[in-house]
Amino acid sequence: MNTLTAALCKKPVIGVAMWLMTLCATNQALHEKYVDLGSSGALLSETFEAPMDEQYSLIFWLRQESADSAAPNWSNTLCSTSAQVAPALSISARVTSIAKGVTTLYSLPIACPRPTHEDGWTLVVGSFKLEAGRYRVELVNGSALLPLKGKRVQVLLRGEGVGFP
């Protein structure tokens, strides 16, 4: 999808028609990447393509282990103690533009309690404004989250600007 298509997808009438014809899509920079938040240290180092200039959200998605298991919930996992003062999860992200050689560091602390508008299985960790081009993202977990040891947490890097108008 290019910038013109993204702009048309945001228009009230033509955007709905384009959406129904599946011409509008959310830019997903990372595909099928999973991390273990139950361990500290380096989580992910991945090269990706940002197809257009836009804001990208870094999202952690708790995946259900099996159809029989209970649905996971970030609030219960992160905020297990009633009075949590320190960040429940401390993620740092290093985003490097391969063409420009510019590196930007982001500190992304996740605090408790979680907002009530969040659904139980997705956690928006942070967002970055990226120009079109190739990037390398490196994620580091500052502290292990033991309830998630061995659990499947999918990492999404999703463009925010495209989609249903």
- 134-156: pLDDT as tens digits: 999 999 988 887 777 777 789 98
Cite the DSSP H helix spans in 21-110. 74-78
Q: What is the pLDDT of residue 22?
A: 74
pLDDT at 89 over 70: yes
HSE-CB of 158 using CA atoms within 13 angstroms: 16
- 32-60: pLDDT as tens digits: 899 988 888 999 999 998 877 888 888 88
List the single range of 11-20, 70-79, 146-155 with lowest mean pLDDT: 70-79
What's the rounded mean pLDDT across residues 95-115? 82
Cite the DSSP H helix spans in 33-121. 74-78
Q: What is the pLDDT of residue 140?
A: 93
One-letter amino acid at 49 equals: E
Q: Which residues pair with 62 in a beta bridge?
A: 153
Q: Which domains does the chain have, with CATH numbers?
A: 27-159 (2.60.120.790)
